[in-house]
């Protein structure tokens, strides 16, 4: 008998896992279906390969930036082959042949299988778990209905590449501050563990009052020496409590997101990047034929900041009540006057699609400018912070040594 580890979904939609001693993987799948469990994966414990089944519920791990860029390039290749007259199934087969293994290989293999079973491309994509948003799937459905699939795939590819490029810039901008922050923490740990104890012993027999900087440094070193590992455990516990608190309590998350959008320089980056993503998705959806209310609601889903999401809720509610898009955007209080003018002129002239395109381009330029400002301000700000930190350390360490030297020279 072979021992099989399985994972499936029961009638209540819950994921169930377990282990069965059966003759083969196929027998495990058949048994799971007999007891009303849809198999998701079955793994032979004595082998290193994974048998994937239950295509309707497969979810691949595809959240990496590299995967999204790769998917965008593949979609662009499929669009170009469709424009050249290549059938969809053959185009997908060409993409699949270029992948030897991994997420993309399995994902496009499942798409080809689903299309071979008569399913449309949008449904086939929704069953693979590849990193396409709901708005992208809606665009595919509209394109399939009007028979214009190639331009839709190019638009989705452009959307994935734009979002991935902006996210990559934000990550690159954060690498330098994180490195400096880690170096400062390492330097502080080295001082508190190795340098300050020796300084405290040296100053133990010195007459006179120590400066407050020196006392703070010595007290911190003594606290770290007395508590030891419990200090780190306490810090980790406090961090875990804060993360749990902000994830579970919506009001706390709303306050945090509100504070993030009102930071001096980084707040503009957060706000403009979220609005740029919203505007880009809104323009893509409305341009592909989705009505304006559904476009707003689906584009709204990509906004992760709760404060901005709450403001955009007002837009969808007012549009649902019959208010014009320009007035609804104005009532949200987060869009610039330039964007509002573009939308209002487009509504008046009956050219809302082109106005939304110009608005998304304007928001993208503003987001890029805000990120450029942040990248320019980070180095001098970090340099100033490091300089103040080193100045404080020098005052705390060398001021008592200088006082001892003066006392010694006076005695002599």
Q: Could you report the per-residue pLDDT of 87-123, keeping only the tens digit for each? A: 888 888 887 666 666 677 778 888 888 888 888 888 8
The confidence band for 170, taking pLDDT boundaries of 50, 70 and 90, is confident
Is 308:261 a contact under the CB 8 Å cutoff? yes
The confidence band for 207, taking pLDDT boundaries of 50, 70 and 90, is low
User: Residue 57: what pLDDT?
Assistant: 32
Domain residue limits, the chain:
2-56
Across the range 130-145, mean pLDDT stands at: 82
User: Residue 18: what pLDDT?
Assistant: 75
With 80 as the cut, is the pLDDT of residue 2 above it?
A: no
Instruction: Look at 41-50, 127-136, 299-308 and tell me which has the smallest mean pLDDT.
Output: 41-50
The confidence band for 187, taking pLDDT boundaries of 50, 70 and 90, is confident
In angstroms, rounded to a whole number, what is the distance separating the alpha carbons of residues 365 and 280? 12
The three state secondary structure string of the chain is CEEEEEEEECCCCCEEEEEEEECCHHHHHHHHHHCCCEEEEEEECCCCCEEECCHHHCCCCCCCHHHHHHHHHHHHHHHHHHHCCCCHHHHHHHHHHCCCCCHHHHHHHHHHHHHHCCCCHHHHHHCCCCCCCHHHHHHHHHHHHHCCHHHHHHHHHHHHHHHHHHHHHHHHHHHHHHHHHHHHHHHHHHHHHHHHHHHHHHHCCCCCCCCHHHHHHHHHHHHHHHHCHHHHHHHHHHHHHHHHHHHHCHHHHHHHHHHHHCCCCHHHHHHHHHHHHHHHHHHHHHHCCCCHHHHHHHHHCCCCCHHHHHHHHHHHHHHHCCCCHHHHHHHHCCCCHHHHHHHHHHHHHCCHHHHHHHHHHHHHHHHHHHHHHHHHHHHHHHHHHHHHHHHHHHHHHHHHHHHHHHHHHHHC
Is 363:254 a contact under the CB 8 Å cutoff? no
With 60 as the cut, is the pLDDT of residue 49 above it?
A: no
User: Residue 110: what pLDDT?
Assistant: 82
With 60 as the cut, is the pLDDT of residue 50 above it?
A: no
Task: Give percent of the chain with pLDDT exceeding 90.
Answer: 1
Q: Which of 341, 346, 345 is nearest to 330 (CA)?
A: 341
Q: Could you report the per-residue pLDDT of 342-360, keeping only the tens digit for each? A: 999 998 888 888 888 889 8
With 60 as the cut, is the pLDDT of residue 47 above it?
A: no
Two tokens at 378? 């980070």
Show Cβ contacts of residue 382 under 8 Å, excluding neighbours closer than 6 positions.
Answer: 176, 177, 180
Across the range 303-327, mean pLDDT stands at: 88
Across the range 169-182, mean pLDDT stands at: 83
User: Residue 228: what pLDDT?
Assistant: 63
The confidence band for 51, taking pLDDT boundaries of 50, 70 and 90, is very low
User: Residue 412: what pLDDT?
Assistant: 54
Q: Could you report the per-residue pLDDT of 267-298, keeping only the tens digit for each? A: 888 888 889 888 888 888 888 788 888 888 88
Q: Could you report the per-residue pLDDT of 303-312, keeping only the tens digit for each? A: 888 888 888 8
Mean pLDDT of the chain: 79
Task: Give percent of the chain with pLDDT exceeding 70.
Answer: 85
């Amino acid at each position: 008998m072979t021992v099989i580890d399985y994972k499936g979904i029961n009638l209540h939609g819950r994921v169930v896992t377990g282990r069965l001693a059966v003759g083969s993987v196929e027998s495990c799948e058949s048994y799971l279906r007999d007891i009303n469990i849809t198999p998701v994966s079955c793994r032979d414990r004595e082998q290193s390969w994974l048998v994937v089944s239950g295509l309707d519920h497969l979810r691949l791990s595809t959240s990496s930036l590299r995967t999204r860029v790769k998917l965008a390039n593949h979609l662009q290749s499929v669009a170009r082959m469709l424009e050249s007259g290549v059938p969809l199934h053959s185009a997908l087969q060409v993409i699949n042949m270029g992948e030897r293994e991994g997420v993309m290989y399995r994902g496009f293999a499942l798409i080809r299988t689903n299309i071979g079973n008569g399913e449309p491309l949008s449904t086939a994509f929704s069953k693979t778990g590849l990193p396409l948003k709901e708005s992208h799937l809606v665009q595919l459905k509209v394109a399939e209905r009007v028979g214009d699939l190639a331009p839709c795939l190019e638009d989705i590819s452009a959307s994935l590449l734009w979002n991935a490029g902006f996210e990559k810039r934000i990550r690159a901008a954060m690498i330098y501050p994180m490195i400096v922050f880690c170096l400062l923490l390492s330097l502080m740990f080295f001082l508190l563990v190795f340098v300050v104890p020796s300084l405290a012993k040296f100053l133990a027999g010195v007459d006179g009052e120590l400066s407050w900087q020196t006392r703070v440094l010595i007290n911190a070193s003594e606290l770290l020496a007395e508590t030891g590992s419990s200090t780190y455990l306490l810090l980790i516990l406090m961090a875990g409590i804060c993360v749990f608190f902000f994830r579970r309590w919506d009001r706390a998350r709303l306050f945090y997101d509100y504070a993030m959008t009102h930071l001096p320089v980084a707040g503009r980056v957060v706000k403009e990047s979220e609005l740029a993503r919203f505007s880009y998705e809104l323009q893509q959806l409305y341009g592909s034929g989705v009505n304006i209310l559904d476009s707003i609601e689906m584009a709204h889903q990509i906004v992760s900041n709760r404060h901005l999401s709450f403001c955009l809720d007002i837009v969808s509610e007012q549009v649902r009540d019959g208010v014009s898009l320009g007035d609804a955007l104005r009532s949200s209080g987060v869009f610039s006057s330039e964007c509002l003018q573009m939308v209002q002129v487009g509504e008046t002239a009956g050219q809302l699609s082109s106005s939304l395109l110009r608005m998304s381009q304007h928001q993208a330029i503003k987001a890029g400018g805000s990120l450029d400002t942040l990248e320019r301000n980070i180095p001098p700000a970090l340099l100033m912070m490091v300089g103040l930190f080193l100045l404080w350390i020098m005052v705390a360490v060398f001021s008592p040594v200088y006082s001892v030297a003066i006392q010694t020279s006076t005695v002599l």
